[in-house]
């Protein structure tokens, strides 16, 4: 006697071309249960499928949540399908689903995987390996079409695509990046795709100050960037003496004396009449005071992350 195979239930996450492709594949077979709530990326929550989790909670089913954020307790028969954040080393969701249902991906589906995982560079690498005889112009057209289909699957409308052609109110190229200032109602994906290729692109709204990654600009006097340190926890539940058995835990830290550059994108804040109520210079000075007073990171009370301003970094 053979054990009965569990019925597979697939709960779909936020809409994009990869998710649409998964849906199209699953629709071809009645062997699976597929539930699609037509979610967007910002509301791709497991709680949206609370009723289905109860409905299929028995051992007769195996539930697969595809790129859903677990904002509620998951049942024992639930399996998370994702390749972002803590699962970034996993295959794409489309690849994982294909393996589960034993579906052989087509060349087009593999290109969709390359787009989802690697954007234009990922697609270019795949096409170069798979179609070495194809012209660069044909490859460009294929990549453009995949990106267009991806934006449509994300909900970008034709009207928004037209608006994206007049995408910027202010833009500037610097050694660090290309900065583009846009209105809220213009999808960033359309702008980014229209500007490709670029090394770094920063798209932002003019009403907010932007803080970018801090970078190490100079090692300390010994030429070091990193150094070692250790914590030594004592005692514990098994000891009455809080100082018993220190157990050193080594870790790496940024060496003392290393210079860091904090990068901001600041604009004057104006009222409705156009009068400046807080200048970008005042904002810069405010951030300077915050960094000097409070430092950055943890353990500032024992010296970690305390900063001293150096002119000209």
In tens digits, what is the pLDDT along the chain, a chain of 313 residues?
445 578 999 999 999 999 999 999 999 999 999 999 999 988 999 999 999 999 999 999 999 999 999 999 999 999 999 998 888 889 999 999 999 999 999 999 999 999 999 999 999 999 999 999 999 999 999 999 999 999 999 999 988 888 877 765 556 777 767 777 776 677 888 888 888 888 878 777 666 656 667 888 889 889 999 888 887 776 655 556 666 677 788 888 888 888 988 877 787 888 778 888 888 888 888 888 888 887 887 766 666 778 888 876 5
The contacts of residue 197 (CB under 8 Å, 6+ apart) are 120
Do 134 and 101 touch, CB atoms closer than 8 A? no
Q: How buried is residue 273: exposed, middle or buried, by Cβ count under 10 Å (0-12/13-18/19+)?
A: exposed
d(CA 303, CA 170): 41
What is the pLDDT at residue 306?
Answer: 82
Do 204 and 210 touch, CB atoms closer than 8 A? yes
d(CA 247, CA 282): 47
Do 107 and 130 touch, CB atoms closer than 8 A? yes
- Please report the beta strands in 122-221, taking only residues with DSSP state E, as ranges in sequence order: 170-173, 178-182, 201-205, 210-211, 215-218
Do 143 and 127 touch, CB atoms closer than 8 A? yes
Do 203 and 180 touch, CB atoms closer than 8 A? yes
What is the pLDDT at residue 241?
Answer: 67
Residues making up the chain, counted from first to last: 313
What is the pLDDT at residue 15?
Answer: 94
What is the pLDDT at residue 55?
Answer: 96
Do 94 and 85 touch, CB atoms closer than 8 A? no
pTM (two decimals): 0.68
């Amino acid at each position: 006697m053979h054990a009965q195979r569990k019925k597979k239930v697939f709960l779909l996450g936020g809409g994009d071309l990869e998710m649409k492709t998964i849906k199209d594949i699953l629709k071809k077979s009645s062997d699976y249960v597929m539930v699609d709530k037509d979610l967007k990326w910002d509301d791709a929550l497991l709680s949206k499928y609370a009723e289905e989790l109860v409905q299929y909670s028995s051992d007769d089913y195996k539930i697969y949540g595809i790129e859903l954020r677990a904002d509620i307790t998951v049942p024992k028969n639930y399996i998370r399908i994702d390749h972002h954040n803590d699962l970034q080393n996993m295959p794409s969701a489309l690849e994982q689903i294909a393996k589960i249902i034993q579906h052989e991906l087509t060349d087009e589906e593999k290109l969709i995987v390359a787009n989802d995982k690697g954007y234009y560079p990922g697609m270019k690498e795949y096409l170069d390996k798979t179609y070495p005889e194809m012209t660069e112009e044909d490859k460009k057209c294929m990549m453009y079409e995949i990106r267009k289909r991806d934006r449509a699957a994300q909900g970008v409308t034709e009207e928004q695509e037209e608006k994206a052609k007049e995408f910027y109110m202010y833009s500037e190229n610097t050694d660090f990046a290309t900065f583009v200032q846009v209105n809220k109602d213009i999808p960033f994906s359309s702008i980014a795709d229209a500007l490709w290729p670029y090394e770094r692109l920063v798209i932002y709204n003019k009403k907010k100050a932007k803080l970018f990654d801090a970078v190490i600009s100079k090692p300390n006097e010994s030429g070091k960037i990193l150094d070692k340190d250790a914590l030594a926890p004592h005692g514990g539940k098994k000891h009455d003496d809080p100082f018993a058995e220190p157990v050193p835990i080594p870790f790496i830290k940024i060496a003392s004396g290393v210079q860091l550059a904090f990068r901001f994108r600041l604009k004057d804040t104006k009222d409705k009449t156009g009068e400046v109520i807080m200048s970008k210079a005042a904002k810069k000075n405010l951030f300077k005071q915050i960094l000097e007073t409070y430092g950055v990171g943890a353990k500032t009370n024992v010296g970690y992350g305390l900063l001293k301003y150096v002119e000209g970094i």
